[in-house]
Amino acid sequence: MTIASTTQLICFAVLAFTVVAGALGVVLLPNVVYAAFLLGGVFLSVAGLYLMLNASFVAAAQVLVYVGAVNVLILFAIMLVNKREDLSAIPGLALRRVLSGLVCGGLFALLIRVAFTTPWGSGPEPVGDEATIRIGEHLFSDYLLPFELASVLLLMAMIGAIVLARRDVFSQDIATGESVDQGLIEKARTPLLLDRSGR
């Protein structure tokens, strides 16, 4: 075993450990702020794994988009909805957690089986540093259509997020001048939001 391979083995072990530990922290820690910070740690370790796989461009994108945008967005959301609430206890919660844990364990066993029984074959030597050029070529040739469509998706997500998160709504119907109320239409419907936690 050469020094290089030992080094990468250690790197992989450390990164894999931080990914798994961070992910468990995200789903298990009671405090959601810590969970969000651990999520940032998971994103960073995943970026490290990408570097090990010779994908520097995607690693940079991962850091910029996930850590820089998504994680910060999540932290902002936590700050904006930070009312401290005591979650009402639910009977059988522990049992539900164990059962769902078993289901996820079964899923995991299945995924592992697939990973080890499939003959994956082997591919050509990785391109390494030329990856960025290749990605650019792909985006402007065989992935041109999804690339253009992604721009529509982002535009629409931006507009929609602004419309939904903005506080103001029109106070009157622009055609009739009557005052409007979004609950007005179908007001007699059975409310979807009856608090059914008591049942």
Partner 1 sequence: MDLSLSSGIPLQAFLVLAAVLFCTGVWGLINSRNAVRVLMSIELMLNAVNINLMAFSSYLDGQLIRGQVFAIFVITVAAAEAAVGLAILLSLYRNRDTVDMERFNLLRW
Partner 2 sequence: MSLPGALLTAANPAVDAIGSGTGVSSLALQLNAGAIAPEAAVLLALVACLLVDLAGEKAASHWVPPLSYAGLGGSLVLLALQWSPADLQPSFLGSFLADNLAIAFRAVVAASTLITLMLSWRYVERSGTPVGEYAAILLAATLGAMFLCGSTDLVSIFVSLETLSVASYLLSGYMKRDARSSEAALKYLLVGSAAAAVFLYGASLLYGLTGGSTSLEAVGAALETSASPIAALALVFVLATVAFKIAAVPFHQWTPDVYEGSPTPVVAFLSVGSKAAGFALALRILVGCFGSFDEQWKLLFTVLAVLSMVLGNVVALAQTSMKRMLAYSSIGQAGFVMIGLVCGTEDGYAAMVLYMAAYLFMNLGAFACIILFSLRTGSDRISDYAGLYQKDPLITLGLSLCLLSLGGIPPMLGFFGKIYLFFAGWADGQYLLVVVGLLTSVVSIYYYISVIKMMVVKEPQEASDVVKAYPAISWSLPGLPSLRAALVGCVIVTAVGGILSSPLFTWASQSVSGTPILQATLG
The nearer residue to partner 1, 32 or 180, going by C-beta atoms, is 32
DSSP 151: H
Q: Does 4 bind partner 2 (CB under 8 A)?
A: no
Contacted by 57, from partner 1, partner 2, none: CB < 5 to 8 Å by type: partner 1
User: What residues from 64 to 103 belong to the interface with partner 1 (CB under 8 A)?
Assistant: 65-66, 69-70, 73-74, 76-78, 80-81, 83, 85, 87-88, 90, 96-97, 100-101, 103
Write the CB contacts of 18 (distance below 8 Å, at least 6 apart in sequence). Answer: 41, 42, 45
- Among 10, 42, 47, 5, CA closest to 23: 42
Give the residue from 61, 47, 43 showing the smallest Cα distance to 135.
Answer: 61
* Position 164 contacts partner 2 (CB under 8 A): yes
User: Residue ranges of the alpha helices (H) in the chain?
Assistant: 3-28, 32-52, 56-61, 72-80, 93-117, 131-139, 144-165
What is the pattern of x (binds partner 1, CB under 8 A) and - over residues 107-136? xx--xx--xx---xxxxxxxxxx-x--xx-
**Contacts with partner 2, 62-101, as mask; x by CB under 8 A:** ----------------------------------------
Q: Residue for token digits 């591919």?
A: 123
